[in-house]
Chain A
Amino acid sequence: GAVVSQHPSRVICKSGTSVKIECRSLDFQATTMFWYRQFPKQSLMLMATSNEGSKATYEQGVEKDKFLINHASLTLSTLTVTSAHPEDSSFYICSARVGTGNYNEQFFGPGTRLTVL
């Protein structure tokens, strides 16, 4: 099956620093990648949708200047949390979409646990 990796799996940083999270599709080319945020014991909330070579589309309420998304290739997307604060602590999950058209299958990465001190 399609495999999506994320790196790092866990990161702890000081308030005010920036953190970059990588999302890679290992054995397929992803037309679209998605970034989700999950608070403890809650559902996944879509943050943004990114397509290779174009600007990401952010969901309402998500600060694009704080959560920078770069989709450099068909197998790599990065999420940078700039000037992180404790309220940004969360579980960040990416997914990669295979194919085009109406059928929307997303394959999910294992997630990155961000803790901001």
Chain B
Amino acid sequence: AQSVTQLDSQVPVFEEAPVELRCNYSSSVSVYLFWYVQYPNQGLQLLLKYLSGSTLVKGINGFEAEFNKSQTSFHLRKPSVHISDTAEYFCAVSGSGSEKLVFGKGTKLTVNP
């Protein structure tokens, strides 16, 4: 079984500052990793995914994440955030061969002017 831990429930930052949202996972099998963003009262939008290959993954809206197998982490980063990045961010894992996604509890990113 897989599990996901998002260490920070809330992350406040100022506009144009860099941000890192942390995600750690546990799994006994190979995994696929995902970051989703959810704006208020909306569904989830995929930001980026790691399936295999390069451990640095670039996604939409200037976000990127790095898969670190030894530390079982998949932290999300953006060098300069905008007000519009204010949203809930979910890290998710899927075990190889499984069709299910397991989500972390989410991190609320608030970008202040």
Contact = CB atoms under 8 A, between A and B. Distances in A.
Contact of B105 (A42, A93, A95, A97): A42
Describe B's contact surface by its main secondary structure. Answer: loop
B98 A43 contact: no
Contacts of A108: 36, 43-45
A49 B99 contact: yes
Interface of A: 4, 6, 32, 34, 41-44, 46, 49, 91, 93, 95, 97, 102-111, 113
Contacts of A113: 41
A105 B105 contact: no
| Size category, B interface | 20 to 34
A49 B108 CA distance: 27
A113 B42 CA distance: 10
A32 B43 contact: no
B96 interface: yes
Contacts of B63: none
